[in-house]
Chains A and B, each alone.
Chain A
């Protein structure tokens, strides 16, 4: 076994010639770069909307959703091309990917939990609501607003 060129556990190797490999790596690098640049443009977009006179919450949410989807695309390319998971045997891929499906429940359950905690506090803890809820954006600066003295929170 020892004089075998490669580990005895590997029955066959993935032979990729240099040209195909180079093309694949270059293509993936460009793809990751382009996706990152789009993400940054969306990030700047969110920044400008926030800075603007009348921030559109729905548009910000839409941009953020778009950024999340682009991130998942990036993750897919890193795992399947750079980590070569896409070239492995299907059963092997499944032992990695299927457990990760737990994240679907994980994310939804915990985000909903956090959101529910906020709603409960806003309902039953008026001090929390008054001291932490963002005031209406800009424009309202001229009107003298009685500043609630921040006590110990």
Chain B
């Protein structure tokens, strides 16, 4: 087991190296870069920009050499745990990305949304499966399909319009009420939660569908298997048949799916955050992307790649835990 994990970690490191190379090359191949955008801005504001100044700029930002040169410089710095500074505001990348305001907000939204997603989607999937082709099944299926099909920018905007603009139950956007000093910590938390409610609701409703469909399909497959018939033939109650014998088998793909969700907890919901004006990591990364802020994008994406690789490893380990037939070697 230990040997297996070490082996997998070594392989993961190689994968990460490959990912970083591809990422860096792609970023450098973008039709525009940070300097170019900056020059355009300067020129637009009527300043004279000399060629020397441009060369100087490229040199300062380390973009003067070839792509491979740039990559190895970046890689060498990373091995010295130097992830560079953001092109945009010259602050340390690590501090920028792991800022509790950014990563924290996104993680809070994603974590709460994931918990609710599972709490709602799994029971829905199970009832839909155990009442296959009944009215309940059709209603649940149609509702979650609507959820899957709605684009987040539209659905988020709609919720905002109904609950914030028309009904006024929730604030329209942002993280906290502007210009208010809180009397107590409880009030501050309450205000924060009120601001987070609509974004979380959007993410939950949009993600329930896929998870519910998956649970339903798995459950149906399990319920049609021979060992469920055996369990019934023993005289077990239907609830025990479903929640003990069938559920453990349905859980196998769900648990491994949970491990695969780890990166999405930290990646942030780009569009939802933009709609609700949250300073999450998603909208921050989107901004960095449009401005070609290479150190930020590299670090952000490498962090997600790392989480993905670890998530896959965790999923495999989880498989061995929930399914006795799987042996790791």
A, B in one complex: no
